[in-house]
């Protein structure tokens, strides 16, 4: 049986902690997977930024991308490799480039998801342009911002129609605050979105391939405390609904890796922010949930690399629209959307692959996250973000939460075994 090697490339920006853990775990797996007459191993390599010939062959089977949402050279190299070499990339660079919050809101409203009422308003200021003055003089209509706020109802949120990381988000309580926030918004094109008042739960669901982890979230807490360590806060039916919602969004836009924020009010989960195709992956935010993220990335990228999974280069929304046009109850419709996602992501094949070839991953993860290498990865990220006098304190804090994850995971594995 010939030995072959599949290569996973990491396209990185400021990432420190998770690439170290990802590389080490793949190495510790020591894979030799029998597949279609070959014995397949997997190697991980970090991509570099350099000039490239458009006809230059790509040596990677899968690239896990954390850079091209803002760095054009890497984005264009990935596009070239997808078109000419059949590269599978997480995430689709075309949809990451073009599908901002505005598109995601409109699309999910079309599918019937309960997105809060949302308006878009023109920017307060404009970058210089030769035709700007003439265009605005001819076509820009004066509008009363306060009356739009009244029609939406206060409180509401003002936020950019694109981007992420809570950039430029304001909670607006009345017309005066709305006008002040708009005056300070500069050239940003802004959404005004009705607040979901009196919600009883905020959940952030992280989706990687067909894997979804729904985490209780507190947006008012400091960044390192927003992802809470909580158990059994969702029913089985609610977990299923959030998985279906997350996979519907991800498969609709061709995203392997995304997160979906929802607010629960009166038993209904309202999606409020779900165009997060490069979500937070740092141990300083995820802490207890960080190992799950690493394991999910490892599983999905190895599955795609070893099986030669073909990337859907173009989005196809027609099957979703066909379901949306049927008079189905909301939950039944969402299940039908998720069935398209499971088919596109080859969920059954993925689960069978993991059961056969990656059954030892959980034990490898538990062992690795007790090592000095893992703790040093945590420390590197803490050193990059925290002042010197807090480095030791927060390194131990995040490391302690990871050790708590190891205990809960070990207990789970013992019960399962």
Q: In the 8-state DSSP scheme, what is residue 230?
A: -
At residue 163, does pLDDT exceed 80?
no
Q: Tell me the whole-structure pTM to 2 decimals.
A: 0.94
Eight-state DSSP code of residue 185 = -
Q: What is the DSSP string of 323-369?
A: HHTS---HHHHHHHHHHHHHHHHTHHHHHHHHHHHSTTHHHHHHHHT
Is the pLDDT at 96 greater than 70? The verdict is yes
What value does the mean pLDDT take over residues 380-406? 97
Question: Residue 121 above 90 pLDDT?
Answer: yes
118-121 sheet: strands from edge to edge: 118-121, 190-194, 156-160, 170-172
Chain mean pLDDT for the chain? 95
Exposure string of 290-303, with b = 16+ CB inside 10 Å and e = fewer, is: bbbbbbbbbbbbbb
- Structural tokens at position 6: 């599949």
Confidence of residue 164 (pLDDT cuts 50, 70, 90): low
Please give the Cα distance from 170 to 365 (Å, whole number): 39
Three-state secondary structure call for residue 215? strand
- CB atoms under 10 Å from CB of 361, counted, come to 19
Question: Dihedral angle at the C-alpha atoms of 18, 20, 24, 25, nearest 10 degrees?
Answer: 0
| pLDDT value of residue 165 | 61
In this prediction, residue 101 carries a pLDDT of: 87
- Tokens of residue 77, six digits: 């190299």
pLDDT at position 166, please? 64
Cα separation, 384 vs 304, whole angstroms: 32
Q: CA 414, CA 323: separation in Å to the nearest integer?
A: 42
Q: How far apart are the C-alpha atoms of 184 and 172, rounded to whole Å?
A: 13
pLDDT tens, position by position, 257-309: 999 999 999 999 999 999 888 888 999 999 999 999 999 999 999 999 999 99
* Token pair for 398: 């995040």
Q: Is the pLDDT of residue 417 over 80?
A: no
What's the residue count for the chain? 417
Alpha carbon distance 262, 138 (integer Å): 40
Average pLDDT over every residue of 310-317? 92
Q: Are 184 and 176 contacting, i.e. CB atoms less than 8 angstroms apart? A: no
Question: Is 287 in contact with 18 (CB distance < 8 Å)?
Answer: no
Question: What tens digit of pLDDT does each residue of 252-266 get?
Answer: 999 999 999 999 999
Residue 123: Cβ-neighbour burial (10 angstroms; 0-12, 13-18, 19+): middle
Q: Residue 169's pLDDT band (boundaries 50, 70, 90)?
A: confident
**CB proximity list for 329: less than 8 A, separation 6 or greater:** none
Structure tokens of 357? 């070839």
User: Residues 81-91: what's their mean pLDDT?
Assistant: 95
Q: How confident is the model at residue 68 (pLDDT cuts 50, 70, 90)?
A: confident
Q: Could you give the domains of the chain?
A: 117-194 (3.30.1490.20)
């Amino acid at each position: 049986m010939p030995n072959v090697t599949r290569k996973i490339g990491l396209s990185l920006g400021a990432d420190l902690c998770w690439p170290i853990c990802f590389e080490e775990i793949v190495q510790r797996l020591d894979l030799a997977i029998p597949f279609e007459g070959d014995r397949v191993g997997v190697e991980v390599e970090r991509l570099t930024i350099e000039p490239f010939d458009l006809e230059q062959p790509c040596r990677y089977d899968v690239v896990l991308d954390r850079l091209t949402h803002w760095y054009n050279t890497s984005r264009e190299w990935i596009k070239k490799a997808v078109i000419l070499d059949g590269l599978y990339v997480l995430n689709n660079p075309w949809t990451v480039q073009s599908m901002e919050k505005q598109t995601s809101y409109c699309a999910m409203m079309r599918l019937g998801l309960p997105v809060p009422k949302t308006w878009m308003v023109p920017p307060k200021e404009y970058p210089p342009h030769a035709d700007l003055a003439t265009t605005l003089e001819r076509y820009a209509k004066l509008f009363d911002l306060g009356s739009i706020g009244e029609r939406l109802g206060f409180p509401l949120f003002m936020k950019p129609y694109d981007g992420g990381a809570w950039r430029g988000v304001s909670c607006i309580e009345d017309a005066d605050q709305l006008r002040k926030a708009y005056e300070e918004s500069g050239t940003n094109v802004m959404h005004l979105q009705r607040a979901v008042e009196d919600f009883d739960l905020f959940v952030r669901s992280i989706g990687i391939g067909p894997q979804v982890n729904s985490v209780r979230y507190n947006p008012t807490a400091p960044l390192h405390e927003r992802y809470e360590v909580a158990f059994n806060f969702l029913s089985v039916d609610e977990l299923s609904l959030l998985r279906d919602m997350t996979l519907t969004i991800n498969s609709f836009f061709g995203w392997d890796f995304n997160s979906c924020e929802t607010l629960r009010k009166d038993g209904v989960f309202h999606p409020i922010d779900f165009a997060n195709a490069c979500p937070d992956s740092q141990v300083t935010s995820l802490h207890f949930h960080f190992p799950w993220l690493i394991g999910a990335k490892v599983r999905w990228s190895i599955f795609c690399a070893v099986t030669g999974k073909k990337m859907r280069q173009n989005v196809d929304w027609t099957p979703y629209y066909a379901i949306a046009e049927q008079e189905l109850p909301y939950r039944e419709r969402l299940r039908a959307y998720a069935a398209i996602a499971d088919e596109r992501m080859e969920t059954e094949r993925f689960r069978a692959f993991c059961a056969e070839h990656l059954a030892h991953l959980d034990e490898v993860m538990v062992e690795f996250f007790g090592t000095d290498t893992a703790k040093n990865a945590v420390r590197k990220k803490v050193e990059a973000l925290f002042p010197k006098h807090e480095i030791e304190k927060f390194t131990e804090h995040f490391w302690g939460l990871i050790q708590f994850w190891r205990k809960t995971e070990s207990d789970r594995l013992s019960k399962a075994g």
